[in-house]
Amino acid sequence: MGTDNFRNFGERQMHKATCSDCGKECEVPFKPQEGKSVYCRDCYQNHRKN
């Protein structure tokens, strides 16, 4: 039995994006899709609270 049960994904590839709320440039761990909202860290936290 292995002792390492966690997946090793290595470093995530980050993609540049523009926040849909504040317009600030940010990096996200997924490739943004046209027509879908992308939020910077601060705006994302605000959306999660609401």
DSSP state letters, 1-50: --S--S----SPPPEEEE-TTT--EEEESS---TTS----HHHHHHHHH-
Whole-number pLDDT of residue 12: 84
pLDDT in tens, 13-40: 999 999 999 999 999 999 999 999 999 9
9 pLDDT band, cuts 50/70/90, is low
First-to-last C-alpha distance (Å) of the chain: 44
Q: What is the pTM of this model?
A: 0.70
Domain boundaries, the chain: 15-49
Res 3 pLDDT > 60: no
Half-sphere exposure of residue 47, counting CA atoms within 13 Å on the CB side?
12
Q: Report CA 20 to chain centroid distance, whole Å.
A: 13
